[in-house]
Every structure is written in structure tokens, then in C-alpha cells.
């Protein structure tokens, strides 16, 4: 049964591959999409006649054309494997993966993350267990894979705004809190007191240093340097969090539709009815 499925899939891939080769598929610039697919019909010196997916034919400069990768590279996990590594192919691959809720993609040594602006069910304890102790090529791209490899290497060795940096840092800490607090051979994924304190420190820091902006409802308006301390066996034994470059001006002035730091609104929401009636407007009016 599995054998026949593999044959069927290979036939489909073979047909797509042949169709791609016959049409000489390329990418050309598009004002709306950035790049759009086209097939080469005729080449005359520096000018190339191409046909778009809607049947329209246009002439473009040869320098504006970027080669398209074969269908077998659709949603590839590591873009370093692409035959044609160009801007159009990279953006197309990231877009394809993004629309499939695959927000993590490798590019050689780097991990590219596209902010989904929604919660995805990819950070559970079950997912953590799936990545624990696995090599990078054995599991799909994920921040947990990067974190686990860094953790294992540490044990073996001697010593863009709104992109999701803060959220991914929290996922790194979450992963390490589980992996570095469980004894070898045990499947206990409940973090200890130190790990709980570390995870709970983030919401407190964010209350005083995060705010709503045009692009992000929970934007970090300060920098954090987080240092995790491990003992010789790899257990988490301490942590330091240093903060810097707090955007103090936000306390007294914000851009339209933006807000001050979260803590002010928490205080307003927690005020007693008497105080709220005497000197405070409804919380819904703040930041509008």
C-alpha cells in the first residue's frame, strides 16, 4: 500500500517537473505581488517575451528575470537547498510555508521566522518532547530545534521591529525551563520553582516595558539581556535579566492610536469605583 502511494506521488512530481521544464518557468517583477510566475516564449537579445498565468504576454528585460525552482522544492524546509537562490524564490517559499502555518524556515545556519500575528498550537509540552534530543535535520524547522541544539552544544563544549523577537525569546526560555530541569531518563516536564519564576518574570517586565503600537499590541519598548546559568550537568541554576533603553517618552506622549505602557492601564482597571468615578474616564477611552 505504501509502495503504491510512493509510486503515485512520484508520477505526480514527474509530471509537474516535466511541465515546469517545458514551459521554462521564471519569475518577473510585479507591482502587486512583488514577483509573479511566467513562462518564456521567445528571447531577442536583452528582451524576453513571456506569458503570464492569465495568458497575457509581455516583454521584459532579461536582467529583470529570475529563474524559478523545480516543483520538488515547493515549501522546502532549508532554502540553502534551492537550485536557484534568488529573491523571488525565497519570498515565494516563505509565502507558501506561511500560508500553510509553517512560520519557521531554515536558510543555511539561520532560522527565518514570519510573525503569524495569531496563536499557533506549536508550543505545547508535546511539541517540546518531540524536539528534545533531536538533530536539526530530523525534525521540521522550529525555534525549539535551534534551542535544543544550542543546549546540547553547550553541554558538549567548554565554554526588525514586530518580527517576533520577544515572543521567540520566551519560547526559548520555555523550552530550556523544561529540558534543563528534568533529570536524565525521566519524562517529568513540569519545571521547578526557579524555572517557574523565570517564566513568570516576563509578564511583569512586559507590563512596565511593553505598549500597544500601530503594528503590535504588545510591542517591547525596551531591551532585555537575559543570561541563563547552568551547572556542569546542564541543569538550570540561575538567571539574570538586565534591561536597558526604556522608551521613557512614552509615559507622557504617544502617537495617535498608540498607548502608554501596559502598567498604567492595569492600574486604571484595578482602581476602586469611587476613585474611578471621581477622576478617571472609562478605560475604553484610553489610547483612542
Q: For residue 70, what are the contacts with CB-CB under 8 A and spacing of at least 6?
A: 17, 20, 21, 83
Q: Which residue ranges make up the annotated binding site for ATP?
A: 159-166
State the residue range of the domain holding 38. 20-68
> Per the domain annotation, does 283 fall within a domain?
no
For the chain, how many structural domains are there in total?
Answer: 1
What span, in angstroms and rounded, lies between the C-alpha atoms of 70 and 89?
10
Is 276 domain-assigned? no
Encode burial over 91-128: b for 16+ CB neighbours within 10 A, e otherwise. Answer: ebbbeebeeeebbbbbbeeebbbebeeeeeebbeeeeb
**228 in a structural domain:** no
Q: Residue 13 falls within a domain, yes or no?
A: no
Distance of CA 119 to the CA centre of its chain: 12
Dmax (CA) of the chain: 81
* Binding-site sequence positions: 159-166
* Residue 97 maps to a domain: no
pLDDT tens across the length of the chain (288 residues): 333 334 344 444 566 666 666 668 999 999 988 999 999 999 888 999 999 989 999 999 999 999 999 999 999 999 999 999 999 999 999 999 999 999 999 999 999 999 999 999 999 999 999 999 999 999 999 999 999 988 887 765 444 666 677 788 888 888 888 887 765 444 444 556 777 788 888 889 999 999 999 988 999 999 888 888 888 888 888 888 899 889 999 999 999 889 999 998 888 888 888 877 776 666 566 554
Task: Answer yes or no: is 175 within a domain.
Answer: no
The answer as to whether 1 is a domain residue is no
Query: Side-chain half-sphere of 128: how many Cα atoms within 13 Å?
Result: 19
* Alpha helices per DSSP H over 124-186: 125-131, 143-156, 165-179
Statement: the pTM of the whole predicted model exceeds 0.85: no
Q: What is the DSSP letter of 206?
A: H
Tell whether 284 is covered by a domain. no
CATH number where 41 lies? 2.30.30.360
Read off the DSSP letter of residue 261: B
Contact 204, 198 (CB under 8 A): no
Amino acid at each position: 500500500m505504501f509502495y503504491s502511494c510512493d509510486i503515485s506521488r512520484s508520477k505526480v512530481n514527474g509530471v509537474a517537473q516535466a511541465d515546469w521544464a517545458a514551459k521554462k518557468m521564471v519569475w518577473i517583477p510585479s507591482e502587486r505581488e512583488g514577483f509573479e510566475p511566467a513562462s518564456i516564449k521567445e528571447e531577442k537579445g536583452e528582451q524576453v517575451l513571456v506569458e503570464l498565468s492569465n495568458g497575457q504576454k509581455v516583454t521584459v528585460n532579461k536582467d529583470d528575470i529570475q529563474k524559478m525552482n523545480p516543483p520538488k522544492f515547493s515549501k522546502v524546509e532549508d532554502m540553502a537547498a534551492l537550485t536557484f537562490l534568488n529573491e523571488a524564490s525565497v519570498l515565494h517559499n516563505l509565502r507558501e510555508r506561511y500560508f500553510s502555518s509553517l512560520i519557521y524556515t531554515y536558510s543555511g545556519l539561520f532560522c527565518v521566522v514570519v510573525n503569524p500575528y495569531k496563536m499557533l498550537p506549536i508550543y505545547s509540552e508535546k511539541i517540546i518532547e518531540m524536539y528534545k534530543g533531536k538533530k536539526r535535520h530530523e525534525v521540521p524547522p522550529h525555534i525549539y530545534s535551534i534551542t535544543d541544539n544550542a543546549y546540547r552544544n553547550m553541554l558538549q563544549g567548554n565554554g526588525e521591529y514586530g518580527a517576533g523577537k520577544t515572543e521567540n525569546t520566551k519560547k526559548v526560555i520555555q523550552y530550556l525551563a523544561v529540558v534543563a530541569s528534568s533529570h536524565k531518563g525521566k519524562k517529568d516536564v513540569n519545571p521547578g520553582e526557579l524555572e517557574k519564576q523565570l517564566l513568570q518574570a516576563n509578564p511583569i517586565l512586559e507590563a512596565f516595558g511593553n505598549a500597544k503600537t500601530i503594528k503590535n499590541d504588545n510591542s517591547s519598548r525596551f531591551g532585555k539581556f537575559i543570561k541563563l546559568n547552568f551547572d556542569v550537568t546542564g541543569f538550570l541554576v540561575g538567571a539574570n535579566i538586565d534591561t536597558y533603553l526604556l522608551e521613557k517618552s512614552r509615559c507622557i506622549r504617544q502617537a495617535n492610536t498608540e498607548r502608554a505602557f501596559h502598567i498604567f492601564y492595569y492600574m486604571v482597571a484595578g482602581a476602586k469605583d469611587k476613585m474611578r468615578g471621581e477622576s478617571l474616564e472609562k478605560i475604553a477611552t484610553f489610547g483612542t
